[in-house]
Amino acid sequence: MTAEHKKNGKQRPVHVVRTETVTAEVYAFRSNTGYPYYGYTISRHWSSLTTGKETQGCVFFENSEAAIIETVKKVTEWLRSNAHAEGPLEEAVVCVKKQTSVKENV
């Protein structure tokens, strides 16, 4: 991870993909041995009925399936085309925040 990926002491995503209410954020990491790699998180965004503010969480529902699949496809495509942006990257590390399962054959 390089300094430009930090803001106010927090790591910023290097790329964001959003499909409907589902967002994937890609982060750049560096292992203890110096090996650079990307990983991503997935979250769901919605407007709070009580405050009207946008909020996010990691719980998904059956109506999120299509947006999850599309988001994962888009972020995976980005990872493949940018895998060597910061050095050798053989495989993207995927950290999916979710509590429901997505079809395995997708």
Q: Quick one: which of 95, 93, 94, 97 has its CA closest to 35?
A: 93
pLDDT, tens digit only, all 106 positions of the chain: 443 455 556 789 999 999 999 999 999 988 899 888 899 999 999 998 899 998 999 999 999 999 999 999 999 999 999 876 554 343 334 443 333 334 444 3
CA 67/CA 13 separation, integer angstroms: 20
pTM (global) more than 0.85: no
